[in-house]
Structure 1
Amino acid sequence: MCVSHSVSPDFCDKVMFLLAQEHRGPLRGGGGAGRTAQEGGGAGRTAQEGGGDGCIALEAGGDGCIALEAGGDGCIALEAGGDGCIALEADGDGCIALEACGDCCIALEAGGDGCIALEAGGDGCIALEAGGDGCIALEADGDGCIALQAGGDGCIALEAGGDGCIALEAGGDGCIALETGGE
């Protein structure tokens, strides 16, 4: 997997481990439990669609991309746009959702308490956006920037403007808030 310098190895390992775990078991597709429903969209691409809790659903767009879309708690959903990108989208508490924009970017978007949500804009950026108490939310603007935005008590929120800047903004008791301008 191609990642930027901003992505920690531990995070990448966790994502890849989770993906590997999900790929170990049989897929449940539209044809019933234990069956796999596949749709191919070109040489070397895999397109899968699943329905039901715990299912894995894949949809691929672009060479070498992995794309999943899932519905139901505990599902993993990916959607990929761009070569070599990993993109996930999930609905339901405790889900992991990624959406990738730009080559080699990692982007997550999640809904529900305790979720991790990322959204990336620009090569090599990490961006998170989260809703619900205790969530981590990042939003990145500019190459190599880290930006966080959070809502709810005890959250950490960052917002970055300009290359290599770190900016924090927080609302709620016990929050840390920073804002920086310039390199």
Structure 2
Amino acid sequence: MPRWEPDARQRLVSAALHLFSEQGYDATTVSEITQRAGLTKSTFFRHFPDKREVLAAGQETLSRLLTEGIAAAPEGATPLTAVAAGLERAAEAMTPFNRELGPRLSAVIATSAELRERDQLKHVGLAASMADALRARGVPDPAATLAAEMGMLAFKDAFAAWVRPDNEQELAALARAGLDRLQGALPELG
């Protein structure tokens, strides 16, 4: 096996998700993942501390993109306009690879309480990063927290719609529409 292969991280994620789907998360070993990916165990552990973290691949990048987008929003932008900028920045980075593996990832997570809990923690972490970016812009709480949570709801719904086979819309447009729907529902809360 070569010492270095391009796209090793993507290959490991793809192999892991396929194996998790075929034989279950608990029954899949790191050795099987690396064999399927055509890589070594040491390569796996350079990218991930354990097989659970394969399912959170890209979380740091997504967090960075969301917060960079919020930080780059025009001065004087409302909290939700800044969140929309973060969602757009993150959506632009999503590739066909993300779209292809999205449904498989959701299906694998649905099979395990441990994985569902890990997924919820991922969303909490992303929302916290967005709220911190809003606070850095001078948005006080609870507005920063609420806007960040709305952003995460919009992104989650948009991603689920984006990966559907019949969808023809871009992720950024879906996220913006979702955020607009949530904002429009606020007066209904009383």
> Which protein, 1 or 2, shows the higher relative CO under an 8 Å CA cutoff with sep ≥ 6?
2
TM-score, normalized by length of structure 1? 0.27
More helix by share: 2
TM-score (ref. length: structure 2)? 0.26
Larger Rg: 2
